[in-house]
Structure 1
């Protein structure tokens, strides 16, 4: 009994193998074997099909008359045998199956779908195959990019940008902010030796192929010690408000300290206020006194160093009534002297100093002395005031 069962199993297994071989090689039962000089199949190579990743592709071949078996294969896998689906991939489906056309559809094409596809048709006379190579294009994607960096001035910097895609994408590095100064690289690596603060900013990596472009950026922050703008001396009238300003360029931002001689000044000390806002520090005197005049030092400090500048607060003296009188008197003297000279010139009189006498032909003589001139000036001033 066991022998009979085993014999049946063996017979069934052999029958299955024969069926599979016939199907795979599309050899109908009873077909006579041709001689070696006769062509056993017609093979046709179609043009390559190029499709972008994520798109849908249609694979089609013609069948013709007297077709007994038809199949679409991918490499060694059967996708469809006639109307029967052999592939377990839900993206593959049958579109058209008739005497003229056998078309299948592959949706959401991926890179793994690339390769050769064969449409095998078995007629009553001989097998016929049509093959096509599917090329999948993949848009570029940056897969490895350097992180944002914070480093000290003078350091060496290497930025890396790696991208995938089909065709292979071209990589370009360039500095885009604060300004495009021409620093660039057409390779995956951008090297910046001995970086300066002028090289701090935003760097862009671009990966591009025939399909699309992918762009990402990296921020470079460069730390450097403070540099302080030259201080401007400030003149203030006694009792008025005065402001000393100190500006520093530094990364990270500088901390400010103010000194009078060797003594540090703090905010709210003796009517003084210190206000720091970013790169600017202000030292404000709300009511300047005699003791406030003098030399002040502003110091800017960060972890990389320090810098300082000196600023002088000096007194501006407002003009008084006596100084105004002196200025006015000098002005009037100048004007009066000029008027007298003009009058004498018009009357043909010539000023020759004390004791000068007019030409006897005129019949009179006029003498101008400094005392008379001074009296005229004083009289004009009195009349004015």
Structure 2
């Protein structure tokens, strides 16, 4: 009788798998059985890598085996049985058999079986769930700018997700609510295409605002799959008039500039004076109105009109010409005020000096009257004089005594 040679080991593995196929489906898992294999379910994204681990608490030197969803043997102990370079041995010990499957595809999803060839054969199953990674979302509806006050409908679409992805809309940093997602299955493919619509009524403030569509799915981090575009809104110009010189002085030149902020920028400007025609010496040149020489008759309100084809804007400026006499008078008044303040300060200082002088003189007189202190207790004028003289003579005698 002939036996298979060593190179026919793969044939033996396949034969054993076929013999025990019925036993695989009839095994009863016993958690208290130390030889019962233990596995865990795994989830992986398309293109990723998954590790399948099978363990037993004890061993009787029986080999562990991993089989795929079609019951094809992947690894029998340390020996690879299926020629698929994506499947590699991760770890093999008497109590563990772990394998890696890289570049996972949707077709790899399903139930994998770990078997230990004891009597009877014991098995455990691990379900591998493969997530279809959604494609980067695409936004449509930005093809042409939108006039202010009108509505625009934007559509966001993402393909290839499994399970179906969710789409979220953001206006700037604020999430806005679109219509419910529309989910479509792909023929002959387990993935889905998802789309969502967002309708906005735009204003001038929405011009250049970022609108984002973000995919929400377990296979990607939040914000990893994102597309944003800027709204383009057409609106009439907002007009402002600014003077080129600081002051409008009679006899000097002066000019005004009209600026209009709109989309598109205004290209047509016109000037008028509210009270009538423009002065003879005023020259309008596009956005500028120039006065070669100002005079009092130029006073009044000037109006600028800006047109960008979408609409017209209007701005106004009131011109008040200052004559040189008023400027001089104003300057003289200012000097007079300054002089008055200085005079008040000088007056206050003089008053302080006078009060201080009187204070010093008063205290000096008090010191001199101490010499006649003896006369305060005299009963009459003669005695007071004698006491006063005696006081002086006593003082003199005292001085002579000490000398």
Report the TM-score range of the alignment, normalised by the length of the smaller protein: 0.5 to 0.7
Q: In structure 2, how many angstroms separate the alpha carbons of the residues matched to 1:264 and 1:87?
A: 94
- 1:304 maps onto 2:314 in alignment: no
The question of whether the paired residues in 2 share the 8 Å contact of 1:272 and 1:283 is answered with: yes
Q: In structure 2, how many angstroms separate the alpha carbons of the residues matched to 1:237 and 1:321?
A: 9
2:68 counterpart SS class: strand
2:214 corresponds to: 206
1:304 counterpart SS class: coil
Question: What is the TM-score normalised by the length of structure 1?
Answer: 0.57
Deviations 1:4-31 (A, max 9, x none): xxxxxxxxxxxxxx97973441359xxx
Q: In structure 2, how many angstroms separate the alpha carbons of the residues matched to 1:136 and 1:209?
A: 13
Question: What is the TM-score normalised by the length of structure 2?
Answer: 0.55
1:192 corresponds to: 199
1:249 corresponds to: 261
Q: In structure 1, how many angstroms separate the alpha carbons of the residues matched to 2:59 and 2:65?
A: 11
2:170 corresponds to: 174
1:184 to 1:246, Cα distance in 2 relative to 1, 3 A = farther
2:151 to 149, 152, 156: 156
Q: In structure 2, how many angstroms separate the alpha carbons of the residues matched to 1:286 and 1:59?
A: 92
Deviations 1:265-296 (A, max 9, x none): 9xxxx896858xxxxx4434454478977775
- 1:131 maps onto 2:142 in alignment: no
* Alignment size in residue pairs: 289
The question of whether the paired residues in 2 share the 8 Å contact of 1:236 and 1:314 is answered with: yes
More helix by share: 2
Q: In structure 2, how many angstroms separate the alpha carbons of the residues matched to 1:127 and 1:285?
A: 106
2:233 corresponds to: 222
Q: In structure 1, how many angstroms separate the alpha carbons of the residues matched to 2:42 and 2:259?
A: 66
- 1:72 maps onto 2:73 in alignment: no
RMSD: 4.8
1:190 to 1:287, Cα distance in 2 relative to 1, 3 A = farther
The 5 Å alignment of 1:252-263 reads 252-259=264-271
Q: In structure 1, how many angstroms separate the alpha carbons of the residues matched to 2:264 and 2:101?
A: 57
The unaligned stretches of length 5 or more in structure 2 are 1-10, 30-37, 182-195, 334-403
Q: In structure 2, how many angstroms separate the alpha carbons of the residues matched to 1:69 and 1:320?
A: 108
Q: In structure 1, how many angstroms separate the alpha carbons of the residues matched to 2:25 and 2:296?
A: 117
The question of whether the paired residues in 2 share the 8 Å contact of 1:142 and 1:161 is answered with: no
Task: Please report how far the alpha carbon of residue 112 of structure 1 lies from its aligned counterpart in structure 2 after TM superposition.
Answer: 4.1
More strand by share: 1
1:198 counterpart SS class: helix
Task: Please report how far the alpha carbon of residue 312 of structure 1 lies from its aligned counterpart in structure 2 after TM superposition.
Answer: 6.0
1:113 corresponds to: 108
The question of whether the paired residues in 1 share the 8 Å contact of 2:74 and 2:82 is answered with: yes
2:27 corresponds to: 42
The question of whether the paired residues in 1 share the 8 Å contact of 2:178 and 2:199 is answered with: no
